Amino acid sequence: MKSENTIENIKADGGSGKISEDQLTDLKNEIDDICKDAAYDVQERRSNADDTRFCRWPHQSSDGLKHSDPHENHKAFPFEGASDARVRLTDMIINEREKILVASAMRSDITVEGIESNDLEMGGRMSIILKWVTNNALGNKYRKELKKIAQWQEGDVPAGAVMGVYWYDEVALENKTVTIEDIAQMLLAKLQQSPEAQNVTPQEFMKELDLLIQNKTEEEKLGKMLLESSPHLSDARIKKIINELRETGQAVYPSPYTKTQTPTICAHRLFDDIFFPSNTTDLNTARAVFIREWLSEAQLRERQWTHGYEEKYVDAVLEHEGETGFPEYTSHEIAGEWQVERVKAPSQIEHKGLYEQITAYTRSVNEDGVPAIYYTCFHHQVEFAAKEREMLDYAHGNYPFVWFGRETLTSRLWDSRSVSELAMGQQKMLKILWDSFLDHTSISTIPPITVPKNRPNAKFEFGPLKQIKENRPGEVRFMDMPKYPVSNDKAQPLLEKQVNEYFGRADELVPPALSQLHTQDMVDSFLANLKEVMHMVLQLCQQYMPDETLMRISGSDQGFPTIKSRAEIQGKFDLTLSFDSKDLDMEYVMKKAEIIGKYILPIDTLSTIQRDKLVQKLFAGLDPSLAAATIQPVQNANMKEATEEQTNFAKIASGVEPPMLEDGVNHQLRLQVLQQIAELNPDAIQRLPQDSQEILKKRMEHLSHMVQQQTVNKQYGRLGAIPALGGK
């Protein structure tokens, strides 16, 4: 009988709380229900789809030919050595779509804008932080996880996957030397937190501590004091520290420190390392989401310190090497009804030396009816949890998961079909056509031989200059073979056209508008999901990243506003990801740049186009890496131009004439720099020698002329003449 403490009824009053044995059983029963639903709805589909994608079928051989196997009573058809080609149509489509999705994500523009007017500067700084996280904190892992999520979205069954977004604190050990004075300060600080010990002086405590160290009978009392201040130390380690302090006055011991504080992402494959109920329509409203990990003994032991696992729990888990709590079921029909039965569990050799660890995320309400997300860590064979159930303290208030689905057919996330399922029939037909073509070629090249009935055992050896003896002319000859069917020649291109139209692949027979529509829709859907991932990453940075780290990354020397409240984290910024899939076509990018330069920019008489951003976008379309490495912000470019022209003025003052450049410089800005020098410090101009004044005059004339070339001459080129009275 099911307990009343169902997953939905688990109560917690915030923070942590014990989870009963019945509640833990309910979580395990939920896992069992998910695995049974997968047997009805997923397992056979996934098996068939995988066989299609990876071209697997019985009696294959490595040479791609059909061979008989007398041990299995299998006879090759239509003949020994016939073609058994592997047509990898679905694999090719999946890999092609994965590359498009990853390229669009890596080349997309990521911007963060403040929602309120006073958030503009903050939004710019958070854009820098997000770029730093993807390029440095995540690094190559970012691209790797994107490739996995794209592969599973397009090729898995169901066609989708989950990206997990977590905050990661990595703890490491360092050898630390501690003296009696250090121990005294540490223990005194701990002791003075209690009111009765606030009047203890350091001298008194030092004296008492020295007596405790030297007195072996007080070793247990001292050990308890050290354990309170450093709970990670074992009893053996504490005894060693005390002995070293007694003998040398100092001790060396491994001390934990925080090595890494960073957001991280992890692509999860459904029914592999993430599980959720079959009727889930939105991960944020799921009854439960289960994450499965396979950990080594060292990783489990480490979690006693990093995750707070109880030692007795870890000891219990270590008795179940390679065992899984996610049973495999198979479905079959009996008397018109579908039933499931448990099949043999996978071999433990696959997970030798590893131990399954399950984390269940559930959305529950406390005694006041306030919802929150809680997580429970457990093992299916252990009757108690690794630690108390704890509330997930992510301020964004959601499950740390984002669903990436290939399509949306119904409200259920499971209802999404993979490329392998959709193109399975066409791939099989293409294989039949290809095998028939190769078999016809083989038979036509060396067809069967007709021989007289009275020579049934005659053996003929074929080859250049070989002799075949016959009794009568024409009694030994090749059999006339029928021509290859014309319908087969027509069928293959029709099949390929059908597939290319369905998936919107670029092909001369597919309308370009249809191909572009498919590709852009696929990219937009993927980036919309990735936007949620990046938003969570940014929210975790706001919540957990130290202010000094934020200041260092963003380049702020005026202080960095602390944004830690839940309201600020949940609704402070608007994050956008955008990418035009046509930018993957280099010819299109070149044509677009030509049109903009030839037709758009000349009519921008009011300078409404932000040319620095235009250059950055076009350059990124040609070569994103080169654009990122070479393009600088317009403020930096202007500052560099102004500094160079100030240097040129210094050269002029010494009688050196700088070169007059036509291209690659901002003539308007440089002219303004020289004019500003003359306005702010006219004496500097008067003090110039005569030849220097002449150089300056000529230079300003040059700059003025170049500005005129860029403005007035454009108008002249359009109108054919310059208005006499300056009219338009």
Q: Which residue has the higher pLDDT, 241 or 105?
A: 105
pLDDT at res. 606: 63
pLDDT at res. 600: 78
| Reported pTM | 0.74
Answer yes or no: is pLDDT of 409 > 60. yes
**Contact predicate 132/537, CB 8 Å:** no
pLDDT at res. 536: 92
Residues whose CB is less than 8 angstroms from the CB of residue 444 and which lie 6 or more positions away in sequence, other chains included = 481, 484
Strands 371-378 vs 449-450: parallel, antiparallel or unpaired: unpaired
Question: How do residues 528-574 score in pLDDT, each as one tens digit?
Answer: 999 999 989 988 988 888 877 777 777 655 545 545 555 555 555 67
Strand-pair partners of 573: 114
What span, in angstroms and rounded, lies between the C-alpha atoms of 372 and 366? 8
What span, in angstroms and rounded, lies between the C-alpha atoms of 224 and 202? 20
pLDDT at res. 685: 84
Query: What tokens appear for 489 in the block?
Result: 């020649």
**Contact predicate 574/566, CB 8 Å:** no
Residues whose CB is less than 8 angstroms from the CB of residue 133 and which lie 6 or more positions away in sequence, other chains included = 262, 263, 537, 541
371 phi and psi angles, rounded to 5 deg: -80, 150
Ramachandran class of 540: left when φ > 0, alpha when ψ lies in -120 to 50, beta otherwise: alpha
Give the lowest-confidence range in 117-126, 230-239, 708-717: 708-717
Q: Which residue has the higher pLDDT, 403 or 395?
A: 403
What span, in angstroms and rounded, lies between the C-alpha atoms of 342 and 235? 46
What span, in angstroms and rounded, lies between the C-alpha atoms of 401 and 162? 6
Q: Which residue has the higher pLDDT, 486 or 170?
A: 486
**Which pLDDT band, with edges at 50, 70 and 90, does 725 fall under?**
very low
**Which pLDDT band, with edges at 50, 70 and 90, does 717 fall under?**
very low
Mean pLDDT computed over 66-75: 90
Long-range contacts of residues 638-644, Cβ cutoff 8 Å, at least 24 apart: 638/666, 638/669, 641/665, 641/666, 641/669, 641/670, 641/673, 642/669, 642/670, 642/673, 644/670
How much of the chain exceeds pLDDT 90, in percent?
Answer: 35
Give the lowest-confidence range in 223-227, 272-276, 433-437, 621-625: 621-625
**Which pLDDT band, with edges at 50, 70 and 90, does 503 fall under?**
very high
pLDDT at res. 27: 95
pLDDT at res. 212: 67
Alpha helix (H) ranges present in 562-689?
Answer: 566-571, 586-595, 611-622, 624-630, 634-653, 667-680, 682-686
Other beta carbons within 10 Å of 214 = 10
Give the CA distances from residue 126 to residues 166, 410, 538, 543, 554, in Å, rounded to whole numbers and listed in that order. 18, 37, 8, 13, 7
**Which pLDDT band, with edges at 50, 70 and 90, does 208 fall under?**
low
**Which pLDDT band, with edges at 50, 70 and 90, does 1 fall under?**
very low
Answer yes or no: is pLDDT of 709 > 80. no
SS3 call for 329: strand
pLDDT at res. 294: 96
Q: Which residue has the higher pLDDT, 7 or 487?
A: 487
Strands 288-295 vs 355-365: parallel, antiparallel or unpaired: antiparallel
pLDDT at res. 340: 76
End-to-end Cα spacing for the chain: 89
Hey, where are the domains in the chain? 1-41+270-416, 43-67+75-157+420-449+483-575, 170-259, 632-719
**Which pLDDT band, with edges at 50, 70 and 90, does 265 fall under?**
very high
Most confident of the following: 69-83, 189-203, 285-299: 285-299
**Which pLDDT band, with edges at 50, 70 and 90, does 431 fall under?**
very high
Q: Is the peptide bond before 78 cis (omega within 30 degrees of 0)?
A: yes
Question: How do residues 433-461 score in pLDDT, each as one tens digit?
Answer: 999 999 888 888 888 888 877 776 777 77
Query: What tokens appear for 252 in the block?
Result: 């060396």
Mean pLDDT computed over 168-173: 75
**Which pLDDT band, with edges at 50, 70 and 90, does 385 fall under?**
very high
Torsion of CA 274, 280, 283, 288, to 10 degrees: -60
pLDDT at res. 532: 93
Mean pLDDT computed over 58-71: 91
Question: How do residues 118-127 score in pLDDT, each as one tens digit?
Answer: 555 666 777 8
Q: Where are the beta strands (DSSP E) in 115-236?
A: 160-179
Question: How do residues 509-526 score in pLDDT, each as one tens digit?
Answer: 899 889 989 999 999 999
pLDDT at res. 726: 47
Answer yes or no: is pLDDT of 189 > 70. no
Q: What angle do CA 158, 164, 170 make, to 5 degrees?
A: 145
What span, in angstroms and rounded, lies between the C-alpha atoms of 153 and 161? 6
Q: Which residue has the higher pLDDT, 216 or 278?
A: 278
SS3 call for 264: strand
Q: What angle do CA 630, 636, 640 make, to 5 degrees?
A: 95
Most confident of the following: 19-33, 107-121, 183-197, 622-636: 19-33
pLDDT at res. 321: 93
What type of residue sits at position 663?
A: D
SS3 call for 482: coil
Q: Where are the beta strands (DSSP E) in 203-249?
A: none
Give the CA distances from residue 253 to residues 213, 238, 242, 441, in Å, rounded to whole numbers and listed in that order. 17, 9, 11, 76
Sign of CA dihedral 65, 71, 75, 80: positive
Long-range contacts of residues 609-612, Cβ cutoff 8 Å, at least 24 apart: 612/637
In the block, tokens 């854009």 appear at: 127
Mean pLDDT computed over 68-75: 89
pLDDT at res. 30: 95
What span, in angstroms and rounded, lies between the C-alpha atoms of 264 and 121? 26
What span, in angstroms and rounded, lies between the C-alpha atoms of 276 and 229? 41
What type of residue sits at position 185?
A: Q
Query: What tokens appear for 326 in the block?
Result: 């996610």
Answer yes or no: is pLDDT of 393 > 80. yes
Give the CA distances from residue 471 to residues 116, 117, 465, 476, in Å, rounded to whole numbers and listed in that order. 102, 103, 19, 9
pLDDT at res. 67: 93
Quick one: DSSP state of residue 618? H
Mean pLDDT computed over 207-236: 68
Strand-pair partners of 253: 176
Mean pLDDT computed over 235-257: 78
pLDDT at res. 371: 80
Answer yes or no: is pLDDT of 408 > 80. yes
Other beta carbons within 10 Å of 625 = 10
**Which pLDDT band, with edges at 50, 70 and 90, does 724 fall under?**
very low
Give the lowest-confidence range in 39-43, 297-301, 449-453: 449-453
Give the lowest-confidence range in 145-149, 196-200, 265-269: 196-200
In the block, tokens 């030509």 appear at: 594
pLDDT at res. 249: 78
pLDDT at res. 242: 77
What span, in angstroms and rounded, lies between the C-alpha atoms of 327 and 275? 12
**Contact predicate 534/577, CB 8 Å:** yes
**Contact predicate 646/669, CB 8 Å:** no
What span, in angstroms and rounded, lies between the C-alpha atoms of 560 and 38? 49
How much of the chain exceeds pLDDT 70, in percent?
Answer: 75
Q: Which residue has the higher pLDDT, 462 or 301?
A: 301
Quick one: DSSP state of residue 8? G
pLDDT at res. 166: 95
Give the lowest-confidence range in 103-117, 321-335, 576-590: 576-590
Give the lowest-confidence range in 408-412, 686-690, 719-723: 719-723
Ramachandran class of 504: left when φ > 0, alpha when ψ lies in -120 to 50, beta otherwise: left
**Which pLDDT band, with edges at 50, 70 and 90, does 684 fall under?**
confident
**Which pLDDT band, with edges at 50, 70 and 90, does 718 fall under?**
very low
What span, in angstroms and rounded, lies between the C-alpha atoms of 511 and 513? 5
pLDDT at res. 60: 92
Q: State how far Cα 574 lies from the chain centre.
A: 21
Answer yes or no: is pLDDT of 416 > 60. yes
